[in-house]
Amino acid sequence: MERVISTKLPLCILVGCLTAACQAQVRVLERLPNGAQIYAERIADAKAISVQLWISDRGTEEAPATNGWRHLIEHFMAKRLDLFTDENGIFLGAETGRQAMAFKFEAAPEKLSFCLEGVRRLFNPMTLTTGDIEREIHLIRHEEAGLGAARRFSRAGWSQVFSGSRPDPVGSFDSMATATPAVLTKLQQRMLAGDNIVLSVCGAVEPRTVVQAIRPFLASQLTSSELDSSPQSTANSASTALATPQAVGSALSVKLEGVDRGSSLARIAVGFAAAQANPGITPIYTVSSHESLLTLASLSPDIASQVSGLSDRQLVRGISLLSGWLEGIGKSPSRLASFRGNLLSEGSGLSLDMVKQAAQPIGLLELIKAKQEILAGRLLEGFR
């Protein structure tokens, strides 16, 4: 799912101690012979760790007939770890995005071995029944009904801006209903091929210790070419384009290029500026090296006039907010592990430093242009 970008950033987090912070961080990135990747980074002064397993959809991309099967698998995989994580004082989060699935273990540093054991358990084959699938679909319906207005607008924006060509990560309930225990178990096995896997660990960790502890296990996973690649489904299904969801307010959605592009970062900065000037605006963007979407959603029906009315002084404030957002990623184990895990699962070697460098040239002229580009994006209007 898309992530809501927090705009409540302390203004003191700018570019102050960037050099010292980078020197205090130790990073390791290792690609194993089967294609699996391990990224580990120690963050100075971190009090916690984030251990994240990212699973690319490479080779298991969804079609209309299978849209939602990955979401079902995410639920079943996470559900099996509820007792394990609770007993060991670990918080587990899981999400299915358009191009990757992630399982995130957040814990105290001394729980590292338990987090890595949780990662290993995710690779265990699922044991399902048809009744299990029916009950989980029912739960996902409730999950979708609870989405806030901003996320509803973001989903509608993806459907309209990309003309339904980027499958919605929640999926089609009609397609989910065609899934069987056998096809889901087989799909899980294919998803967990070594060359689809990224393990991203950040925080109060010793990177080499992480790599040594998990390398033998990840290296033992088969590659995509070594697994049965027979079709996932023979079911026929029409394309399931999403209608604009019921939501109050309005939104603007605009395409972004990779997060290392100055034009993308300028639009994100304008989103921050708009949110600070109008607290009812929520910017939503998922970091990506590919073409993606920025949505500015508001409970007000006049999002366009709110963005259009931004003064030059307010726009310039977006530069500081953008810098604070990037600095915040580097100081947070969870956010940094997500940043690197997501990009590595896309096949991108982009680092946070590269993105910061791309943001350096942004000035008022770039922000004015970005504001006009956002206003030229897709306008979404909600209704009661």
Residue 141: name the closest of 184, 174, 183 by CA: 174
- pLDDT of residue 236 exceeding 80: no
Residues 297 and 378 in one domain: yes
- Is the pLDDT at 238 greater than 80? The verdict is no
User: Do residues 257 and 321 both lie within one domain?
Assistant: yes
Taking residue 383's Cβ as centre, other Cβ atoms within 10 Å add up to 10
**262-277 helix and 312-331 helix, angle to the nearest 10 degrees:** 110
Query: Do the domain assignments include residue 91?
Result: yes
Domain membership of residue 14 (yes or no) is no
- Quote the CA–CA distance of 160 and 12 in Å, as a whole number: 38
Q: What is the pLDDT of residue 246?
A: 62
Residues 196 and 290 in one domain: no
Residue 300 located in a structural domain: yes
The CATH number covering residue 76 comes to: 3.30.830.10
Q: Do the beta carbons of residue 221 and residue 122 sit within 8 Å? A: no
Residues 220 and 295 in one domain: no
Residue 324 lies in a domain: yes
How many domains does the chain contain in total?
2
Share of the chain above pLDDT 70, in %: 88
d(CA 114, CA 110): 9
Q: What is the largest CA-CA distance in the chain?
A: 59
The pLDDT of residue 17 is above 60: no
CA separation, residue 151 to residues 54, 155, 247, 283, 322 (Å):
22, 6, 10, 10, 21
Answer whether residue 348 shows pLDDT above 60. yes
Residue 9 domain-assigned (yes or no):
no
At 264-308, the pLDDT tens digits run: 999 999 999 999 999 999 999 999 999 999 999 999 999 999 999
Contact (Cβ atoms closer than 8 angstroms) between residue 285 and residue 337:
no
Q: Do 221 and 299 reside in the same domain of the chain? A: no
Of the CA atoms within 13 Å of residue 334, those in its CB half-sphere come to 13
Q: Tell me, yes or no, whether 68 and 194 share the same domain.
A: yes
Cβ within 8 Å of residue 49, ≥6 positions away: 106, 107, 108, 109, 111, 112, 115, 201, 202, 203, 204, 205, 333
Q: Does the structure show a pLDDT above 90 at 379?
A: yes
Do 259 and 196 share a structural domain? no
Contact between residue 359 and residue 75 where contact means Cβ atoms under 8 Å apart: no
In this structure, is residue 99 part of a structural domain?
yes
pLDDT tens digits, 171-230: 999 999 999 999 999 999 999 999 999 999 999 999 999 999 999 999 999 999 998 765
Q: Which helix (H) or strand (E) holds 252?
A: strand 247-256
The answer on 252 and 128 residing in a single domain is no
Q: Are both 264 and 206 inside the same structural domain?
A: no
pLDDT score of 276? 97
370 and 258 part of one domain? yes
State whether 215 and 284 are in the same domain. Answer: no
pLDDT at 158 over 60: yes
115, pLDDT greater than 70? yes
Least confident of 119-133, 238-252, 333-347: 238-252
User: What is the identity of the amino acid at 273?
Assistant: A
**Residue 143 maps to a domain:** yes
The domain of 355 spans 247-383
pLDDT above 80 (res 21): no
Q: Which two tokens stand for residue 57?
A: 């959809």
Predicted pLDDT of residue 297? 97
Domain membership of residue 233 (yes or no) is no
Model confidence at 365, pLDDT cuts 50, 70, 90, reads very high
One domain, residues 346 and 282: yes
